[in-house]
A and B are shown apart, each in its own frame.
Chain A
Amino acid sequence: MTVAAARALGDGMSCFVGIGLPSTAANLARRTHAPGLWMIYESGTLGTVPAHLPLSIGDGVLAESADAVVSVPEVFNLWLQAGRIDVGFLGAAQIDRYANINTTVIGDYADPKVRLPGAGGAPEIAASCGEVVIIVRHSTRAFVDRVDFVTSVGHGSGPGDRERLGLRGRGPTRVITDLGVLEPDPDTRELVLTGVHPGVTVDEVRAATGWDLRVAPDPETTPEPTTTELSVLRSLTGTGAR
């Protein structure tokens, strides 16, 4: 999953990075095929090249190695909102067929079953980056027919919604999971399974999805991680986890 996410990042792109899997994937990309990846963390570090993975969004290693360290209003208003970031990386607790994301509550807002951390920078990343890549583990708990709370807008309820809402970026272009890859249908904007990771069957993915998942006519199989990708990943995380 992390390797597939890293491959979604092109050399020279500017990337708004969140902590966790997105950060691991972006750092892997920068150490392999995308040495010119320009990483921004919401704590205000622009163009950071951390020597090791940060545990938190504001780790000192991010500031030490950055081109510039700016204030939070600057990073959100002048860099993100102004449309200067090519790709945003987001995680999710729940995601629906139109790639809308919930990181706020499971259950009713006023009386939640589980209270999650909340929005953070995600709504603006989802609204303003050129495109969004979502990384989430595949299960029926996460892939739900309807998210309990729309924290960040993906493709709303279908074609034309982002435009109507005044959201400028293209929205989610890829959802990468531990089982495969989903992409929005160009016409309906509904997520379609376009790829599976080695050893995973389409039926397994459908069983882990909480709606009747559409599948591309001939889904690709993700190429195996290379030995370089795996060794860099191990050096970053101390494990070989995909």
Chain B
Amino acid sequence: MIAPLDEAIAELVHDGDTVALEGFTHLIPVEAGHEIIRQGLRDLTLVRMTPDIVYDRMIGAGCARRLVFSWGGNPGVGSLHRFRDAVTTGWPVPLEIEEHSHAGMANRYLAGASGLPFAVLRGYSGTDLVAHNPHIKTVVCPFTGQELAAVPALNPDVTVIHAQRADRAGNVQMWGIIGIQKEAALAADRVLVTVEEVVDTLEPVPGQVVLPARVVDRVSVVPGGAAPSYAHGYYERDNEAYRSWDAVGRDREAFTRWLADLTATAPAATPEGTAL
């Protein structure tokens, strides 16, 4: 169950996979994204409601062929320049996009996690998203006759999330802003969770969410693995890192230097799940 990050990525993520790294501002599995870059994975369909700087890096490194998303920006700062470059000029490789609203993406994951083929929601009506996305259709309610939007279930090959803690058996505990992580994990074929620490016993925390070990394939201990996002109770969001990414992401040469530095460093995983 517990494996070093590089081994877990090599085992669970393959070229051409549909991969979701989820985390809604909080608990973003940034180090796992870096390891996907180091391993040179290609042709991925990257899925995420809010592709932020970790997806900007993966797209700039050429890992992605396609992006399924609902809001692509550097939260509180501005644009994702690697994402923009890939969409508008095809550098370093062309990026196809499939674009939804947050509600559409949330319901796609929910249907996937529920074992249903599609989800219904009110919304999308009158927007140009419908014309540009063949995955948004309408259905008529068999009870009321109302027309509603329908979106297909989203079932990633692999979902990667970051959490505060796991026990040695692989039960995972997270709390704070929990976003869409649970649904994304339950919708996926394979699940990797990077955690701040492994403990012998998970002590209950108010408002916690527990993912039972039976739905988790691998746990990797990666302290600080969500930085520069944050892990509630462990460390704060590094707002300055988000601001300073703007200059690196904006410039292909600066980004290329950043990428060379990243691939020259070893993964930030600890080999065995020792409590820290």
A residues lining the B interface (CB < 8 Å): 19-20, 42-45, 54-60, 62-63, 69, 71-73, 76-77, 80-81, 104, 109, 111-112, 115-124, 127-128, 149-153, 156, 161-162, 165-168
Contact = CB atoms under 8 A, between A and B. Distances in A.
Given A69-B207, A73-B110, A166-B146, A150 B178 contact: no
Interface centre among A44, A45, A76 (most CB of B within 10 A): A76
Contacts of A112: 87-88
Given A60-B176, A69-B207, A81-B122, A118 B99 contact: yes
A152 B146 contact: no
A73 B102 CA distance: 9
Interface centre among A42, A45, A62, A120 (most CB of B within 10 A): A120
A72 B72 contact: no
B125 A76 contact: no
A115 B81 CA distance: 9
A115 B86 CA distance: 11
Nearest to B179: A72
B166 interface: no
B75 to A, nearest CB: 4
A73 B107 contact: yes
Given A44-B178, A59-B237, A165-B125, A119 B70 contact: yes
B169 interface: no
A153 B123 CA distance: 10
5 contacts: A57-B75, A58-B26, A76-B103, A118-B73, A119-B101
Contacts of A120: 50, 70-71, 101-102
A76 B104 CA distance: 9
Interface string B127-161: 11100100000000000001100000000000000
Contact of A128 (B80, B102, B123, B128): B123
Contacts of B230: 60
Given A71-B180, A117-B72, A118-B70, A58 B24 contact: yes
